[in-house]
Chains A and B, each alone.
Chain A
């Protein structure tokens, strides 16, 4: 789509930073253009708060640095959206929960600090499922996020996926070129697939969790969401890095993923896991999967069958481990030190806890806190948690064995395309099934990305997922690039917002 005067909304990270660096336009022009797009798109409800002044401030700093002849960072002049799970100094951080409404941290998460240091600016804090718990962006205290996409012939608002649904919606609607996401069991990949964009969850430990509101510590991992593979590579490079403040952070150098992008798949083997061919998967998804395999073969790869035999146990195990950790991680929201406090007249400490948490947490959060509390309880621990951790080990071994035979694994990202908002609210199990293809890589801590492949007959995007070996984001990005080049996915949602 051609760029009109002063409209920078179609540009990606690379185009913006190169254009700014080359003097084609100023960072301020870009920030103003995107601030305006954000302001005009309130009907998507993608942002919880907007911070146009932050975007301009960062842009001016980039313009000044350029004028002074200083070296510019890899994200210089690029305004982005920040998922409201990242603590941002002086800017309200809520995790989309009433319990943190009005909470303003006086510290900055490592990942967001890395991005600002790389020259990025912040357009605002993006809506999400409450505490990142959800697959449709319907659990936010601040309202549902709408996808910019609609089914052909329908005006029904569609889900942008979740939990990073504000991020996916804003990027697909061209409100920002990129945004941060976090992925615990698919929360980057599934919304990326639903909205026709790219997103990568790196190896567990690549991006620091310090300053990111925790959902399930052993699974949570931040990653970039953008409209191209190369933009993901650039942004991931800016986000990642060892952080001594996070004990689970990987103490390894950050490779030059962008510089080493290479879509030539000759000599590479791509595994097709037969267990992912599940009942209930849309034919369109299966078709796109076949197309994906063809594209990678076209890029020179050899396609091999692999087996991930414990796949069917991954989702149940995930819904034990993640809620268990969440039930403990969310105990700190107790009304004592910050956030919401509900103190009924004459209430004691226990009453205050109960009232505060009843009022502060949404239904899905409560459901998972109760699930997690249950599975950790005396008498149930071994039957649930211990068993789930065994499954987790088996899932990891599945991948280890599969990666003896292939370099990356290709699978669908989701079993269906996006669905209308409010259509699955009463059916949490079906909702949880959305992450059936995403969860195994999360349990194994492996890098995994979703890239857009095709549109359904209804005109909704479908994504393909690539999973790689631990630490091998490069192969994942390279395969993603090979698909991107062949899929030729250029569709955009028609503007209605």
Chain B
């Protein structure tokens, strides 16, 4: 449990959140027709006879969409139902040509599963939490109405009609906006790892219906919930919860009651407003779609689905911690998204082979570089950086020089700056630009001898026990060496000479 509380006038309230996430299945064709699913095409250019619900047209399930739903279910360690069935959800709207959406109410393809969100003190998540997932079912998306094309008429674009969605329904297990945000991020990461959804919330590939209720701290019964539809970013999900929970508390403390209703989130104001209440809710008249046979999955299909799963975020994170020796923070950051770990693993491989050490020996260095040093350089350069110059091989070359003590951390940054600006090779930059540490003990000794000779008083004080002065000698030496001396060598010689 989080300690997220709403401090009302009459006491403290806690919140209960459940999410229904709609994720567009990555597939070239729609759920029941062969039409393309590409985003951004001209209106009504990706519409088959089935999508337009012409008379006599029939749906045929797309096996790839089924496969992706099963793989997603396996990724959250859910029960996979070998027997599931499609139902029709009946309602009239101009963006729904059939007059019904084909969905799965009674027998979803995926049953109970769960995912874990990691503790994150800063975000207000004190400990790891397991969020239950009630089910995943597959269903058709609807089209889109456009109200701004004509003064008195609405236009309809059927391109999205029939695109496959997974509806991923969580249990009401989240107790703070932060947990809900972490849940959506984690779910998105899993979907992207699995490759079953691109997770692109801006293009509508992922959106959430947010169910919120509040209750007094200590109450065990759930309060009446509201459902805010189609929230399309993590930040908006969190804002929706904050606003909606506060609103509910205000209503209740003013002596009102919460109406079970559907609400809309307004990103402009960060508030929600009522769309329709339960009283005028549709009666969807769900019933099994008689055009479709039950979906029956055999063991061979399930095994192939399982075999195709990649290493998933939790497993990868634990491996990074236990086998690569990374800190929990680094492991979490590096496994949060597909691109991040892919870049890291490539660089790790390159670096390990360049240096000639096992990956575990260089992982921490590479992780720090990948998470903090390299992004810092890119950020500081702004438009001057051409990140395509920063290949894994070039970064590995820099890390190799650093590992060998040939360059300092500061020099590594400088070299990488030049790499990103020019595309030149790190070794050549280090040589040509004089960006190498001096490890020549003779030169360093000479410099140190001169400093000791010129600072007799300080030497006495140091020898008298003022240990802090060691830093002074290091600084003077580095200054004399114009910052290019290898600090480890400098330290060693200083210690030897100062006794």
> Which residues of chain A have a CB within 8 Å of any CB of chain B?
86-87, 93, 95, 100, 103, 105, 107, 109, 209-214, 216-218, 244-248, 324-325, 327-328, 330-332, 334, 336-338, 349-350, 353, 373, 376-378, 381, 385
Contact = CB atoms under 8 A, between A and B. Distances in A.
Most interface-central of B55, B57, B61, B94 (chain A CB within 10 A): B55
A261 B482 CA distance: 105
Interface string B81-110: 000000010101110011110000000000
A229 to B, nearest CB: 29
Contacts of A244: 60
B58 A381 contact: no
A247 B55 contact: no
B55 A331 contact: no
B56 A328 contact: no
A210 B61 CA distance: 15
Contacts, number: 96
Nearest to A218: B290
B29 to A, nearest CB: 14
B53 A332 contact: yes
Contact of A328 (B97, B283, B285): B285
Nearest to A211: B56
Contact of B58 (A245, A328, A385): A245
B6 to A, nearest CB: 34
B291 interface: yes
Where chain B touches its partner, the secondary structure class is loop
Contacts of B49: 107
Where chain A touches its partner, the secondary structure class is loop
A210 B99 contact: no
A336 B293 CA distance: 29
Nearest to B153: A343
Given A107-B49, A218-B290, A376-B90, A100 B55 contact: yes
B99 A331 contact: yes
B287 interface: yes
A332 B99 contact: yes
29 contacts: A87-B55, A95-B55, A109-B56, A209-B58, A217-B290, A217-B291, A245-B60, A246-B60, A247-B59, A247-B60, A247-B291, A247-B292, A247-B293, A248-B293, A327-B285, A328-B88, A328-B100, A331-B90, A334-B99, A336-B156, A338-B54, A349-B94, A349-B154, A350-B92, A353-B92, A373-B285, A376-B90, A378-B283, A381-B286
Contacts of A334: 92, 94, 99
B107 to A, nearest CB: 14
A430 to B, nearest CB: 28
B52 interface: yes
Most interface-central of A95, A103, A332 (chain B CB within 10 A): A332
Interface residues of B, number: 30
A381 B156 CA distance: 32
Nearest to A246: B58
A270 to B, nearest CB: 32
Nearest to B34: A245
Contacts of A212: 56
Most interface-central of B88, B100, B287 (chain A CB within 10 A): B287
B285 A376 contact: yes
A95 to B, nearest CB: 7
Most interface-central of A109, A246, A328 (chain B CB within 10 A): A328
Contacts of B57: 210-211
A244 B60 CA distance: 8
A72 to B, nearest CB: 29
Interface of B: 49, 52-61, 88, 90, 92-94, 97-100, 154, 156, 283, 285-287, 290-293
Nearest to A212: B56
Given A210-B57, A214-B56, A328 B293 contact: no
Contacts of A350: 92
B55 A93 contact: yes
Given A331-B99, A349-B94, A213 B56 contact: yes
B290 A325 contact: yes
A149 to B, nearest CB: 32
A366 B247 CA distance: 45
Contacts of B100: 328, 331
B56 A337 contact: no
A418 B154 CA distance: 50
Contact of B61 (A100, A247, A324): A247
Closest CB pairs A-B (n = 6)? A331-B99, A218-B290, A376-B285, A217-B290, A332-B53, A211-B56
A332 B58 CA distance: 13
A224 to B, nearest CB: 19
Contacts of A218: 290
A248 B283 contact: no
A377 B283 contact: yes
A103 to B, nearest CB: 7
Contacts of A336: 94, 97, 156
A377 B55 CA distance: 25
Given A107-B54, A331-B90, 17 more contacts: A103-B55, A209-B56, A212-B56, A216-B290, A218-B290, A247-B58, A247-B60, A325-B290, A328-B88, A328-B99, A331-B98, A332-B98, A337-B52, A338-B54, A373-B285, A378-B283, A381-B287
A353 B93 CA distance: 9
A216 B287 CA distance: 13
A355 to B, nearest CB: 13
Contacts of A332: 53, 55, 97-99
B48 to A, nearest CB: 11
A327 B49 CA distance: 21
A256 B291 CA distance: 28
Contacts of B154: 349
A106 to B, nearest CB: 9
